Amino acid sequence: MGAFDSEHNSVLWWMLGPVVIVLLGGALDGMAHLGLSVADSRIKLLSEASAEEANLDDLKARLSNYNSFFDKQKQREECAQELDAQLRKAEKLSQNLLSVRAKKSALLAENEALGNAFVAYRKTALQQVWCEGAGQSYASLKTTDGKEYRAVVIKRITCEGMEVAHESGRATILYQKLSPAIQSHFRWVEAEQFK
Does residue 61 have a pLDDT over 90? no
Q: Taking 90 as the threshold, does the pLDDT of residue 169 lie above it?
A: yes
| pLDDT level of residue 121 (50, 70, 90 thresholds) | confident
* Residue 166, beta-bridge partner list: 169
- Mean pLDDT in residue range 63-80: 86
Residue 167 burial (C-beta neighbours within 10 Å; 0-12, 13-18, 19+): exposed
| Cα–Cα distance for residue pair 178/191, rounded to 1 Å | 15
Examine the pLDDT at 150 and tell me if it is beyond 60: yes
pLDDT band with cut points at 50, 70 and 90 for residue 94:
very high
CA distance 141 to 64: 105
Q: Cα separations (Å) of 58 from 46, 51, 63, 69, 70?
A: 18, 10, 8, 16, 18
Of residues 23 and 169, more confidence is placed in 169
Over range 121-142, report the average pLDDT: 89
Higher pLDDT, 29 or 181: 181
Mean pLDDT, residues 98-116 taken together: 92
Give the confidence band of 45 by pLDDT, cuts at 50, 70, 90. Answer: confident
> Fold for domain 134-193?
SH3 type barrels. (2.30.30)
Residue 98, Cβ density class (10 Å: 0-12 exposed, 13-18 middle, ≥19 buried): exposed
pTM of the model: 0.43
- Any alpha helices (H) in 134-187, and if so which ranges? 180-185
Q: How far apart are CA 186 and CA 136, in angstroms?
A: 12
